[in-house]
Amino acid sequence: MDNRAVYNETTEPQEPRRRPFGCTLRHLWGWRLAVKVVQTIFSFVAVVCEEIVDNCLTCSGLYFFEFISCSAFLLSLLILCVYCTDLYESLGKDKVQKLNFWAVPVIGASFLVASIVFSATSSGYAVESAACAFGFLASFAFAAEFGTECYLRRKQNIGGHTQNPRNIPSAKKSENQPLNKQRR
């Protein structure tokens, strides 16, 4: 009797399903995906608008904004790629989330300062105003993600602990007590 038809699927090792380019969205979904994409797009548009500026009266603000906006775009793109590729598993969930938690406020604050400096030193051209506007929008997107992360972490910490731990008898006191109080 030929048993190949019965045991063929279960006994032969199957190759794991390969994702196209190793990309997946299972680690980054819902509001996080939307915020990460918005951060990257706003940062990119700010870089493009600032690159279009032909001449400037005070160029130091423009150069500072150029450096910060380009860095913010590349870092937000890198974080997005880490979440969406196999690198997430390689680095580990805790390290990636810790990196994201501390990188987002630094990028957002730097972008906000650069946008303020650039808007203060700009000549008033439409492209400069657009670059500043997208700089502020990107800063607010980074701030919104950081604020939401802080709120969720705080909510998780409160949910994981009891509200009033002092009223609960300690385990050492109660472990030597009988389960049922015996009456005499």
**Averaged over 65-91, what is the pLDDT?**
92
Q: What is the pLDDT of residue 121?
A: 92
Residue 173 has pLDDT above 90, yes or no: no
**Averaged over 24-48, what is the pLDDT?**
89
Q: Report domain extents, the chain.
A: 27-154
Cα-atom radius of gyration of the chain, to the nearest Å? 27
**Averaged over 56-72, what is the pLDDT?**
93
Q: What is the pLDDT of residue 162?
A: 47
Between residues 118 and 15, the one the model is more confident about: 118
Residue 143 has pLDDT above 50, yes or no: yes
Mean pLDDT is lowest, of 19-33, 42-56, 112-126, 154-168, for 154-168
Which residues, other chains included, contact 38 with Cβ-Cβ below 8 Å and sequence gap of 6+? 141
Between residues 16 and 144, the one the model is more confident about: 144
- Read off the DSSP letter of residue 30: T
Residue 76 has pLDDT above 50, yes or no: yes
Which three-class secondary structure state does DSSP give residue 152? Answer: helix
- The CA distance from 104 to 75, in Å, is 9
% of the chain with per-residue pLDDT over 90:
53
- Helices of type H across the chain: 4-11, 31-52, 59-84, 87-91, 93-121, 126-160, 171-175
**Averaged over 46-74, what is the pLDDT?**
93
Q: What is the pLDDT of residue 70?
A: 96
Q: What is the pLDDT of residue 166?
A: 56
Neighbours of 35 (CB within 10 A): 19
Residue 115 has pLDDT above 90, yes or no: yes
| pLDDT, mean over the chain | 83
